[in-house]
Amino acid sequence: MPAPNVIPLNLTSLKAACSQCNLRELCLPYGLTEDEVAQLDNLVGARRKLKRGQHLYRAGDPFEALYAIKIGFFKTDILLEDGRDQVTGFQMAGEILGMDGIGTEVHTCNSIALEDSEICVIPFPQLEHLSREIRALQHHFHKVMSREIVRDHGVMMLLGTMRAEERLAAFLLNLSQRFTARGYSPQEFHLRMTREEIGSYLGLKLETVSRAFSRFQEEGLISVHQKHIRILDNAGLKKLLSHQPG
Amino acid sequence: MPAPNVIPLNLTSLKAACSQCNLRELCLPYGLTEDEVAQLDNLVGARRKLKRGQHLYRAGDPFEALYAIKIGFFKTDILLEDGRDQVTGFQMAGEILGMDGIGTEVHTCNSIALEDSEICVIPFPQLEHLSREIRALQHHFHKVMSREIVRDHGVMMLLGTMRAEERLAAFLLNLSQRFTARGYSPQEFHLRMTREEIGSYLGLKLETVSRAFSRFQEEGLISVHQKHIRILDNAGLKKLLSHQPG
DNA sequence: CGCAGTTTTGATTCATCTCAATTTGTGTGG
DNA sequence: CCACACAAATTGAGATGAATCAAAACTGCG
């Protein structure tokens, strides 16, 4: 029988957003002490479930919170008035969505679930408040934002200097590496997005993406069955990246 | 004769990095009270002058500080092992450099002065310290980072979906708008970078950039004499952007 | 004044896009 | 459980925008 000052386990875990979460080390609580994570628990209010295809937020929505992906897979995209659009990123469990909205207090892109997903709502004013108290949280949040900038630079590099097959190889290697960090197989995974979405992200048409997949398969680099990808020759894909254009 | 508690003006202005700076409203001190700006003054230690062509930092350098441009013009670029490189941005007075280094504690790109320049060094640990005390500083810094992310998304859009002339038009309009915000003419300005650097930023070859300039001139949209640009038809440039590809 | 770096312009090539047809896969309702 | 409709993916042929290669003109710096 527990002592009166011991809170029954299931009662805490109901509230505990972060302290019981297995993504802790990939997400915002990284590097915090137990006590500090407990403070984050109080901040991370609601969870929200999204069905595949549902918007988490839309361009133009007022910015109020960041979102940590607990389960699922998202894309962000920008839609121009003339109908052109571009996928700006794909996000998976442990990654933070919504930082685009801080600067203007309005979201500048759309965030859409590519599979049934669940996210944790992190109200931004409260995150800033807690960041002023917890140094490690502040610093880690800055790192998360900075890494997003560096990631974007990588995409600029890809779009600005790489040819179609190099882009796709870089994309696959990046996904593989992120799946690995989440405990999934580096060689085998399921694409959650269509060829068109991949193309939009990589600045290519869907036919070009499809042709590149076929070519990789012919060359024995990967095997493709629809959205199921198996990487057969990791080194071969990497080699594609380090070759001169032309 | 001044009262004893009045500090002579030239003594304060010697130390005052931000409070006497005319870029205050474009830069980090935006939105701070006088007292708060005075606290920033203590933080912003050294100024540093750079000659044209000099590096402010290089990829691989340990990250220690952010830099605010006081005078001058910079580019940032990434160099891949295989020799490919990409200009990731051009920065002018009032803008903040170095945020790429926060995430990994190492700079991930090179920052190079495109003209003789002067920057203010903002040691990062001290900026984080002061951000924990000054809410407005914390919030504004978050906005600055977020805007960098949104800017990068714009470049991704440009590289992913626009044709050569659209990219160049977008580039010129962006420069024009930023010069305007700094009190310079929106119609007339001097490019600080070469055609090759513009091309690298826009994902084009220098010949393509040159041809697009010539075409704009033929069509009466701008006049070009080497690096001197005069925008003759702002609306015409804007119209170029809102047209479907193909 | 001469030379190196930059820019312009032309001719040709090539990667990717476009258009089109077909195949494959997925979800729904009878 | 199967059939149907619709969405996604593959593949081919031809068009096209930008790259490449090449040469000439211009600029500015020592």
Question: Which of B75, B157, B208 to mutate to probe the A interface, most A CBs <10 Å?
Answer: B157
* Contact check, Cβ <8 Å, A143/B102: yes
Interface check B82 vs A, CB under 8 A: yes
Query: Cα distance from A9 to chain B (closest Cα, Å)?
Result: 34
A244 contacts chain B (CB < 8 A): yes
C-alpha closest to that of B213 among B186, B193, B243, B185: B193
Residue A216 (CA) to nucleotide D3 (C1'), in angstroms, measures: 35
Q: Which nucleotides of D are covered by protein (CB under 7 A)?
A: 8-13, 17-22, 26-28
Sequence letter at residue B133: E
B181: left (phi over 0), alpha (psi -120 to 50) or beta: alpha
- Chain B residues touching residue A152 (CB < 8 angstroms): 149, 152-153, 155-156
Predicted pLDDT at B235 = 97
**Predicted pLDDT of residue B13:** 44
Task: Give pLDDT, residue B3.
Answer: 47
User: What residues of A are in contact with residue B103 (Cβ under 8 Å)?
Assistant: 143-147, 149-150
- In this complex, how many residue pairs, one in chain A and one in chain B, have their CB atoms less than 8 Å apart? 153
As a whole number of angstroms, the distance between CA B171 and CA B164 comes to 11
Give the Cβ contact number of residue B221 at 10 Å.
22
Please give the Cα distance from B140 to B146 (Å, whole number).
10
Strands A228-231 and A222-225: antiparallel
| pLDDT tens digits, one per residue of A85-110 | 999 999 999 999 999 999 999 999 99
Instruction: State percent of chain A over pLDDT 70.
Output: 93
| pLDDT of amino acid B81 | 87
From the CA of B212 to the C1' of C12: give the distance in Å: 19
Which carries the bigger pLDDT value, residue A167 or residue B82? A167
Express each pLDDT in A44-88 by its tens digit: 978 999 999 999 999 999 999 999 999 999 999 999 988 899 999
| B132 contact A CB<8A | yes
Domains of chain B plus CATH, in order, are: 6-157 (2.60.120.10), 162-241 (1.10.10.10)
Instruction: Give the one of B102, B109, B244 whose C-beta lies nearest to A153's C-beta.
Output: B109
Q: B interface mutation test: which of A97, A161, A162 has the most B CBs within 10 A?
A: A161
Q: Print pLDDT tens along chain B (246 aa).
A: 444 455 444 444 456 789 999 999 999 999 999 999 999 999 997 899 999 999 999 999 999 999 999 999 999 999 998 889 999 999 999 999 999 999 999 999 999 999 999 999 999 999 999 999 999 999 999 999 999 999 999 999 999 999 999 999 999 999 999 999 999 999 999 999 999 999 999 999 999 999 999 999 999 999 999 999 999 999 999 999 987 654
- Residue closest to B44 by CA, chosen among B23, B18, B20, B62: B18
Of residues A138, A144, A145, nearest to B131 (C-beta): A138
* Contact criterion met (CB below 8 Å) for A97 and A119: yes
How far apart CA A191 and CA A176 sit, in angstroms, is 11
CA distance A12 to A3: 15
Distance CA A149, CA B147 (A): 10
pLDDT at position B10: 43
The arithmetic mean of pLDDT across residues A220-230, rounded, is 95
Which residue, chain included where needed, has tokens 């977020």?
Answer: B146
Residue nearest to nucleotide D26 (CA to C1'): B226
Q: Is B139 left (phi over 0), alpha (psi -120 to 50) or beta?
A: alpha
pLDDT single digits (tens) A18-34 = 999 999 999 999 999 99
What sign does the dihedral B49-B54-B58-B61 (CA atoms) show? Answer: negative
Q: Which two tokens stand for residue A17?
A: 């957003």
| pLDDT over 90 (residue A40) | yes
Please list every residue in chain A whose beta carbon sits closer than 8 Å to the beta carbon of residue B160.
86, 159, 200-203
**3-state secondary structure at position A77:** strand
| Residues in A touching B244 (Cβ below 8 Å) | 82-84
CA-wise closest residue to A221 among A209, A233, A230, A229: A233
